[in-house]
Amino acid sequence: MKLGFWNRRRIPLASLMLIRQPVRLFVALAGISFAGILMFMQLGFRDGLFDASVTVHRRFDADLVLISPRSTSSVRMAGFPKRRLIQAMADPQVEGITPVHWSLMLWRNPENLSTRSILGLGFDPEDPFFVNPELSQDSQKLSLKGRVLFDQLSRPEFGPVAEWFRQGRTVESEIGGNRVRVAGLVSLGTSFGADGNLLTSSETFLDLMPNKAPGSIELGLIRLKPTADPLAVQERLTALLPNDVRVLTKQGFIDFEQNYWRSSTSIGFIFTLGAAMGFVVGCVIVYQVLYTDVSDHLPEYATLMAMGYQLKTLVGVVVREGLILALVGYIPAYLAGQALYWFVRDATRLPVGMDLSRATTVFTMILVMCMLSAGLAMRRLVDADPAEIF
C-alpha cells in the first residue's frame, strides 16, 4: 500500500528546477512582468484613445446622424446645409431632429488670461440632445444669450472654472473676444482631439463664431420612432438626400471617429507596435532563461533518458516551467498595470482603465510568449544525444 502511494507521487520537477537558482528566477519574472506592464500600458493608451475620442458621440440622443462627406474627424468637421436635416423629416419613421454646431474655439483662462482651444457644441436648448436626463434640465440655462455649460472634466489649463463655480462665484471668460458666462457644469471628458468641452445655444454659438454660415451645421441628429429599423431608414435617407450629406447610424458615427484615429493617424500603429515590442522583449528574456536552464541540466536530462524516461516527459518539464513563469509573472504585471492606469487617469483625465478583455489579452500574450520560448528552448533538449553528453 505504501509502495503504491510513492509510485503515484509526482515530483514537482519543473518548479524545483526554477527555484534552484533564485537570481535567475527573479530575472525571468522581472522580465516577464516588465513585458506585461509594457503591453498593458501600450494597449491601455491605444484603447483609451479610441474610447476618449467618442465620449461625446456616445451621449447623443440619436438613432441616425448626418455629417458632411468632407468631415474626417471630430477635429475636422465640415458644414452642410441645415435644410438637409429638415428634408429628413419627410421619412415617416423620423420622429425628431436636432441640428448641432460643432467647432473648436479659443477659450481664455479666466485666472491667467492664457488661451487654449476647446471644443464647442451649439444646439437649441429646447431640443433633445444628450441621453443624460440631467442635461435636459441644465440645457434650459442656455436660453439666455452668452451662457455656456462648462465640462468640469476638462484639462486644468482652462482655469479653475469648475472650482470657482462650485464655490458660488460668477465665472466669466472670453471666446474669440466675446464675453461668456458659465451657467452650469457637465461631465463629458477629454480626448486626444479636444482637451475640454463646452455647450451653448445655437444663437450664442453663431455669435462666438461669426464666420459660420447661419444656414450651415456640422451635425444632424435624427431620432426615429421606437418601431423603426435604423438601417432601413438610413438606406432610404441616403437615396433621398443629395450627396452633399452622409447618413450614418449612431454606431457608424462612433466607428467613423475611431477609424480615423486607428487608420488615418500614426497613433494607433505606434501603440500597437509598442505592445508588440514588449512581447518580443519578453520572448527573448524567457527564452534565454529556459535555454540556459536546459543547457545546465543536460547531464541530468541524459541520465533520466538513459533510465528509460521518454523524451515527451522531459519536454513536458520545460513546458511546465514556461507555464509557471507565465502565471507568476503575470500577477505583478497586472497589479502594476492597475496602479499605472490610475496614475494616467489622474494626470491626463483620459478613460484608461483595466477591463476583462485587455486583462485576458495580455495574459494570453504572456502565455504564448512563454510557451513559444519554451518551444524554442526544447530544441536544445531534443537535439541532445545522451551518448555524447556522457
Model confidence at 3, pLDDT cuts 50, 70, 90, reads very low
Residue 381 lies in a domain: yes
Whether residues 17 and 135 share a domain: the answer is no
- At which of 211, 244, 277 does a domain end? 244
Whether residues 44 and 136 share a domain: the answer is no
Whether residues 29 and 75 share a domain: the answer is no
pLDDT at 312 over 90: no
Whether residues 287 and 371 share a domain: the answer is yes
Whether residues 157 and 281 share a domain: the answer is no
Q: How far apart are the first and last CA of the chain?
A: 37
Whether residues 81 and 177 share a domain: the answer is yes
Average pLDDT over residues 270-274: 80
Residue 64 lies in a domain: no
Mean confidence (pLDDT) of the chain: 84
Residue 385 lies in a domain: yes
DSSP string, 249-298: EHHHHHHHHHHHHHHSSSHHHHHHHHHHHHHHHHHHHHHHHHHHHHHHTH
Model confidence at 334, pLDDT cuts 50, 70, 90, reads very high
Whether residues 218 and 88 share a domain: the answer is yes
Residue 177 lies in a domain: yes
Q: Which domain holds residue 36?
A: 12-52+266-389
Whether residues 324 and 374 share a domain: the answer is yes
Residue 3 lies in a domain: no
The pLDDT score that the predictor gives to residue 247 is 95
DSSP-H helix ranges across the chain: 2-8, 13-19, 22-52, 55-59, 83-87, 133-138, 161-166, 202-208, 230-240, 250-263, 267-296, 298-306, 311-348, 356-382, 386-389
Total domains in the fold of the chain: 2
Whether residues 239 and 271 share a domain: the answer is no
- At which of 244, 277, 300 does a domain end? 244
Model confidence at 304, pLDDT cuts 50, 70, 90, reads low
Contacts of 274 (CB under 8 A, 6+ apart): 38, 41, 42
Looking at residue 187, its amino acid is: S
Residue 151 lies in a domain: yes
Whether residues 73 and 45 share a domain: the answer is no
Looking at residue 272, its amino acid is: T
Whether residues 323 and 190 share a domain: the answer is no
Whether residues 215 and 346 share a domain: the answer is no
Residue 294 lies in a domain: yes
Residue 146 lies in a domain: yes
